[in-house]
Amino acid sequence: MVRPLKIEISESEEYLAKSLRYAQTASQKEKLQVLWWLKSGQVRAHQDLGRRLGRNGSTISRWLAKYRQGGLRCLLEEKPCGGKRWEIEGEMLERLQARLQQPEGFKSYGEIQQWLEQACGKSVKYKTVYKTG
């Protein structure tokens, strides 16, 4: 026998449906979908949520724990990913900014990439140059 899910959702079904339409990320949409299914009574068991979304039950449990702890705002909060820091920083960034102030400038990001390698002796990926600008 499947144990029913016990959670009190404070938002109205209409509010969740509207929020679902205007969700900005897929992650937010999935989380709102879970709440809407529960609020509308379409899903009553933890297993059904995981099956419908194609998500592991532990993911659903973690989402619901976040909701219980801090409500909708806490559930939908998206923290920035860690990842590697950009390679253009410090003195190299200062030199690049000074060079960009000169009238001749650069014609492309590829040209900036080449200049950084010649002037600073460091190879920087095109994508890093593009995202820095």
How many structural domains is the chain composed of? 2
Taking the model in full, what pTM does it have? 0.61
66 and 101 share one domain: no
For residue 4, being part of any structural domain is answered with no
Q: Characterize 33-59 residue by residue with b for buried, 16 or more Cβ atoms within 10 angstroms of its Cβ, and e for exposed.
A: bbbbbbbeeebeebebbbeebeeeeee
Residue 61 structural domain: 13-76
Q: Is the pLDDT of residue 84 over 70?
A: no
99 and 127 share one domain: yes
Confidence of residue 3 (pLDDT cuts 50, 70, 90): low
- Token code pair at residue 105: 């400038």
**What does the pLDDT look like over 37-82, one tens digit per residue?**
999 999 888 888 989 999 998 999 999 999 999 999 999 998 877 7
69 and 120 share one domain: no
